Every structure is written in C-alpha cells, then in structure tokens.
Structure 1
Amino acid sequence: MKYVRFEKNNEISYGILENEKVTKVEGNIYGEYKATDSLYDLSKVTLLAPCEPSKIVAVGLNYRDHAREMGEPIPAAPKLFIKPSTCVIGPEQKIILPPMSKRVDYEAEIAAVIKKTAKNIAVDEVKEYVLGYTCLNDVTARDLQKADGQWTRAKGFDTFGPIGPWITDEIDANHVDVKLLLNGEQKQHSHTSNFIWKIEELISFISQVMTLLPGDVVTTGTPSGIGPMKPGDCVEVVIEGIGTLRNYAE
C-alpha cells in the first residue's frame, strides 16, 4: 500500500496510490478508513508531505561510512535529536537557505512513519507500530551545527524537513539503496544493510525515551557524501522501493 496526502480543488485529503491513480479515503489512515469514489490521476493532484508529525526523531550517526566520513567512532548508543514539526515540507517545495548560515547541506535518509502510540516497545513488536516508510532530507546548517555543539538550530529551520513523496509498507527498509542526486549528479549512495542499528532497534530505543504518536517520523541517519546546496539547486532523495523526493534550494 502507498499512502499519500494531497491537495485537490483547495481540499487536503489522504489517499491510496496505485498505478498512478489516487483514490481519496475517508477516516484515519493510522486507524480505520475507507475508500471513496473519488479517483484522480497522480499528475492532477498536488502531493503534500505524506504525514503531519508532532515531531521528527532523528539519529545522528547510523551508517558506518558516514561515521568514518565525520571522523567519529561508532557510538555506543544512538545519538538522538528532534526536528520540529514546523520544518516539514512536501515534494517539489522549496528549501529556504537562511541568511545566518553560510553552508546548508543535504542528507538523504529513509524514515519510518509511526502508526499507533508507542512507548517502551520491544524490538520484535516494532512492525506493529509502523505504518510504512518514506524519503526524508535532513537539511542541516553545517556551520551552525559545528558552532553550537548541539543541533537544534542547525536542524530546525523552517523548510529543513522535506518528506515524501508517499508512505509505503511494501519494502524491507533494512535492505534498500539510498541515494542523493544534486542537479542530477549522484552525491550520496549507500545501502541500509550498512546501518549500525536496524530501524526496529532504533524505534524500540526511542520508545524507551519518549512516546511516539501516530504520524510521528523516525528518521534513520544519512550515508557518507553529505555536501552543500546553493540557491537554484535541485535536490533529490531516491530510495529503492519508495521513489524520489525532489526539492529545490532557494
């Protein structure tokens, strides 16, 4: 199943995507919903961020190659931080580069969307709590990250959380390719089999710390190859089995 959130005729709805057609649904995609008779061509709707998280919980290092790139040892436990809900944008929307930063980087990531309230769940229970997976760009003001030491400002600007284009439950998220293209040129490429912690381990760990709510996003770290964007750049997160999240820097 592929879940979308979209706008059509000034109305925002959830839908199911199949064969380039979107069926509008009524109800709660995290609980009970039903299909309606409204069917649209994908090209005729505006895709939005596929969920509205209360928070994005992110992991600082989760690819062995990225740890090497940053010159950091493999951490003993996941390094967590939170991106605010106000940073979320959808496919094709603009990433606004803030004047106070001289270097804003892309970070391609695969993210899980939580289906039901999760607290203190075991690793083998996690799949029951995940609606599916999507693409995320963990946009980061790299100079501010280094200057501050902690990451809230660097990761939290408005538009620094592109998510999309949809949520799918049709993949094994621990065994997919993750790429980033900058103006069509590949800059990042790895495979989630290179994770330090699998997605189920991350979500279980996070749930020991904080309650995850329906629609919340857990994003899983980025591969090596991070780099800066400049105004006018086209940035694409491409994940096997999901698709392409495309945004533009401004």
Structure 2
Amino acid sequence: MRIARFTTGDDPRYAVVEEGSDDLVVLSGDPLYSPLEPTGQRVPLDSARLLAPVIPRSKVIGIGRNYAEHAAELGNEVPAEPIVFLKPNTAVVGPDDPVVPPPYTSHLEHEAELAVVISRICKDVPVERAKDVILGYTAANDMTARDVQRSDVTWTRGKAWDSSCPLGPYLVMDLDVSDLQVRCWVDDELRQDGSTAQMIVGVPELVAYVSRIFTLLPGDVILTGTPAGVGRVEPGQRVTVEIEGIGAFSNPVMRR
C-alpha cells in the first residue's frame, strides 16, 4: 500500500494511492496516529502537490558507510559497527522542493537511500521484533556537504543543514526491502545503480542498533546508507532518486 502526503493549496492531507488509478483516496487523518479510514473524497493525482510523506516529530537517523563499495570510493574502511549521525526534522523537504546548500560549502554530493519510518515509541528493540515497529519505507536523498564533512570533527555541518534530506514520493507499507534497486540521476546522467541487498547491516539490525542508543518515536526516519556512485552536484542541476517498489522523485539544487 502506498500512502501520499499532499496538498491542493490547503493544509496537508494523506491519501492512499490506488494501483492502476490516477486518483488519491483521501484519508481521515495521519496514518501514524489514526486508522486508514477513507473519507470518500478522491483527488486527481495530477491536481495535487506531493509533499514529504512524513515529517519526523523528532529526528532523522543517518547511517554512514553501510555499503562496502561506497566506503571504498571515499577511501574509507568498512566500519566495525554502524556509523550513526542525526539530521533534524528541519532538514526534511519533499518532491520538487529546492535543495539549498549552506554558504559554507562548495562541494555538494547526492546519496540515494532507502528510508525506514518508525511507527511507535520503542527502545531496545530485538532484531526479530524490528518489523513490529516499522510503519513503512520511503526514498531519501542524504545530501552532503562533502568538503565540510571531511574537514570537521563531526558530520553535523556536513549533513544536518536545512533541506539536506529530501524524502518521497510515497510511504510504502508491507514492502520486502531485502533486494530493491536504488538509483540516482543528476539531470539525465545515471550516477548510482545499486541494491539494498548490498547493505552491510540490514534493516532489522539497524533498527535494533539505533534503538539501543536512543528512544525511537513515531515518524522517526532511519536512513540506511547509500550505494556506490555518489558525486558532485552543482546549483542549477536536478537530482532524481528512485527506489524499486516506492517510486521516483526529484529536487532542483539552487543557491540563495
């Protein structure tokens, strides 16, 4: 099942995206906090603007170097344990929203990633219970100021700036994420073409690992790492991320 968060000029609403239909079936509330109850209203998809499918109430948790070839392309070893960093919810934008890098960077890079959306408050989740706390999955672009990430002791300035975490186009429930194609284009150039099967640490293990560090809240997002092929993006270019079973979305990059 695919869930959209959208607007037609009014407050954001949620809807089910039916297979084989061009309509959004509007829901009565936020799927994080209410049952999936249709209101009876239908909105043509082409008359709606898709928004980020979730705005975390708390945090976005990033995982670094979770694909061996990506670690190698940046000259790094595969870490013994997952590298964890945080992005604030102000980093999240949706499809077609501009990515605006901060003035302190001159080297911006894309990172296409599978994102996991948490369904409820949880802590110390066993690996075998991880699926019980997952609401669904979406696609993400972990935009990174690579020059600053390399120069700073922490990754905060390089990873956590406003608009650095585009999400979209849908939240997909009940998806087998063990082997999904992950691709990224800059304009018409295919840059990344990998699979979630290449992850060093899988989704259940990541959920369990980060839940041992801090409490996860409904709507928290876990970015699961990026495959090889990351590269530079310049203002004026457009970045498109596509994950099999979820869909594709894109964002323009621009300077203020």
- How would you bin the TM-score normalised by the shorter chain? over 0.9
Identity %: 38
Question: Equivalent residues in 2 for 1:76-225 (5 A)?
Answer: 76-225=80-229
Q: Structure 1 runs of 4+ off > 4 angstroms?
A: none
Indicate if the aligned counterparts of 1:136 and 1:245 stay in contact, CA closer than 8 A.
Answer: no
Partner of 1:6: 6
Question: Could you say what secondary structure the match of 1:153 adopts?
Answer: helix
Partner of 1:249: 253
The one-letter code matched in structure 2 to 1:13 is: R
Deviation per residue, 1:104-126 (Å, 9 max, x gap) = 11100000111111211111111
How many angstroms apart in 2 are the aligned matches of 1:64 and 1:141? 21
How many angstroms apart in 2 are the aligned matches of 1:38 and 1:112? 29
Q: TM-score, normalised by structure 2?
A: 0.95
The one-letter code matched in structure 1 to 2:32 is: Y
Deviation per residue, 1:142-177 (Å, 9 max, x gap) = 011011021001111111110011110242112101
**5+ long unaligned stretches in structure 1:** none
The one-letter code matched in structure 2 to 1:20 is: D
Question: Could you say what secondary structure the match of 1:3 adopts?
Answer: strand
Are residue 45 (structure 1) and residue 48 (structure 2) matched?
Answer: yes
Deviation per residue, 1:63-85 (Å, 9 max, x gap) = 11112112222211100000111
**5+ long unaligned stretches in structure 2:** none
How many angstroms apart in 2 are the aligned matches of 1:122 and 1:205? 9
- Cα drift, residue 179 of structure 1: 0.6
Partner of 1:74: 78
Question: Could you say what secondary structure the match of 2:190 adopts?
Answer: strand
Partner of 1:36: 39
CA RMSD of aligned residues (A): 1.1
How many angstroms apart in 2 are the aligned matches of 1:99 and 1:90? 22
Indicate if the aligned counterparts of 1:170 and 1:241 stay in contact, CA closer than 8 A.
Answer: no
The one-letter code matched in structure 1 to 2:246 is: I
Bigger proportion of residues as strand: 1
How many angstroms apart in 2 are the aligned matches of 1:121 and 1:20? 38
Indicate if the aligned counterparts of 1:59 and 1:219 stay in contact, CA closer than 8 A.
Answer: yes
**Number of residue pairs matched?**
250
Are residue 230 (structure 1) and residue 240 (structure 2) matched?
Answer: no
The one-letter code matched in structure 2 to 1:25 is: L
Q: TM-score, normalised by structure 1?
A: 0.97
